[in-house]
Each structure stands twice: as structure tokens, then as C-alpha cells.
Amino acid sequence: MMIYDGYPAYLHNNNRKTDFQTGDLIIVVHESSFAQSFPPQTNRHFILRLKRGSVADFSPDVREELERLGYIK
């Protein structure tokens, strides 16, 4: 799951193991389009973590939306 344009979007990871945690700041190279689903979905090609983070790093609006959708408490 990542935040794209202020909303949650799901990244298909193709069963690759990662140690990313909620709130990490990442750069993602992905397919050019998102599936018209909820949450939006895309296939990722490459992910690079810029820094570790936590839920506290999300803006209040993003935290509220993730709580409303049940992704975080």
C-alpha cells in the first residue's frame, strides 16, 4: 500500500520480500496507469526507500482517510 495523490493505492509486489514499514518515504517506478478499482492498483517495477518513517509522518488528512478506510487505527 502507498499513498498516491493523497489517497491509498495498492502496489502489486509480485511476491518480492521487502522490509518497508508504514510511513517509510519511498520512490516507486510503476506501470503508467492505475486500475480503476478501490483502492487503485498498479504493478511496481522498482522501489527505493529514501528514509524510514511511521504513521506520524502522514498528513492529518491522509491519516484520517486511512483510519476511515480501516487501514490504520
Q: Write down the pLDDT at residue 72.
A: 82
Q: Is 62 helix (H, G, I), strand (E, B) or coil?
A: helix
Which three cell numbers mark 48?
527505493
Per-residue pLDDT for 63 more than 80? yes
Q: How far apart are CA 9 and CA 25, in angstroms?
A: 15
Judge contact between 20 and 46, C-beta under 8 A. no
pTM: 0.58
Q: Write down the pLDDT at residue 52.
A: 92
CA 68 to each of CA 5, 31, 33, 72, 73: distance values in angstroms, whole numbers, following the listed order: 17, 28, 25, 8, 9
